[in-house]
Structure formats: C-alpha cells, structure tokens
Amino acid sequence: MDTDKIVLCASSKYEQKYYLNQDFMGLPEEIKKELKIMCVLFTEDIGGILTLEFDEDGTLNMVTQAYDEDLLYDEIGSVLKIKQLREEKKDLFQSLELYFKVFYLDEY
C-alpha cells in the first residue's frame, strides 16, 4: 500500500463490510450516507473491493481489486461503473477533493 495515499472509505463484497476513515467523520451526514450507498452498491453489483483514496495532490481515486480466485468479479464492468460514477457523482467528488485540500493539505 502506498503511504502517500489516504483512504476515504472502502467496501468489500467478501466481508460484506463498509469502512469510513475516522478522520472524515466531520463530513456532513448526507455525504457520508451517499458514499456508503455508492460503495456498497458498487461491490454488490461488481464484486471485489472498492476503495476511494486521495493521492498526495488531493485527487480522489476509485480503486478496485479482487481476489485471484474470484471468478464472479466483473473487471470490465468495474471500469464502466467507475466511468459512470465519475460522471454522475462529479459534483460530490469535486467537493470531497476541495474538502481534502482545505482541511488536510492546507491549501486555499
């Protein structure tokens, strides 16, 4: 795992769990709820593990991974779903990036 990345949240189909980094508990409840729904639905539909993480520049990335033996993981579907979410949730992602840059990178 790259130490320059900070995980915002993650969802796992394998463990059927959702994780929100405690450092982001200050986010508004509606945003936390939207993130949870988005991540859980993604892993229920595609499978594997979805992680939303900030890089050192404050860019929010969606990273998926799957166990090698997971034959049900939809690799092509994951790429398409991420593209769809990037378009549909553009405002949310931009707001999260701004939040991260202001509160964690001390920019602006």
**Token pair of 82 as six digits:** 């991420």
User: What is the model's pTM?
Assistant: 0.91
Distance of CA 58 to the CA centre of its chain: 13
**Tens-level pLDDT at each residue, the chain (108 residues):** 455 899 999 999 999 999 999 999 999 999 999 999 999 999 999 999 999 999 999 999 999 999 999 988 999 999 999 999 999 999 999 999 999 999 888 876
Strands (E), the chain: 6-12, 17-20, 49-54, 60-65
Sheet holding 49-54, edge to edge: 17-20, 6-12, 49-54, 60-65
Q: Where are the alpha helices (DSSP H) in 3-108?
A: 29-46, 75-88, 90-103
Which residues are bridge partners to 52 per DSSP? 9, 62
